[in-house]
Structure 1
């Protein structure tokens, strides 16, 4: 979607006015939706987890997102999906805490098929260098 595209928010119950805004940059939409999000302890289903994190650091927990494609789309067809921008919404305290947790404490981003993180036949995709970023915070 080109820069300057107009968006309108949903109208909350009891309200009558939608918030309207325009994008400040081009936006690429992918046929994906987040269907689950959990903050967990150390993931027991990722064998040898420490090999994915920098030396001297240890995993204390994980933010696990479950994604699903929409319509007839398949994950295999999303070849240009090399970044996944995620918008944090909700209670300001919770969203702020998640933002800080993700951007200050991220060690790696690991992707794989559900229930297959320990399956040698289905390798994981791992990003350990700059695993999570926010364009406004880059130096």
Structure 2
């Protein structure tokens, strides 16, 4: 049973590592493809959209004034981010290490759970029977 626990933990750790490595590569590719003014242009584009009237069935739950305020907040946030981080490379300098710190916390959690299960199986397993011993 202990072998099964650690085999499953190793499989999950490999999958977790692969997922974080893939996310790191994709984020680097996407942020590297972004030119210096892309964030500012995106903020301007988002701010220029008009909020359409909600359909009749959705009107009781959606307030178009709140959507317009949320849109303005998002546009201002993107404009500010474009001024602070002029390129995707500057953002990737933060995203990469944060991804791997998250990977470390996830792996520590996985190892802690596997260690706890290992201890529980050893503690609550029945006594080992001796073969060939007479009582």
Measured against the shorter chain, the TM-score band is under 0.3
More helix, by proportion: 2
More strand, by proportion: 1
Rg (Cα) greater in structure: 2
TM-score, normalising length: structure 1? 0.19
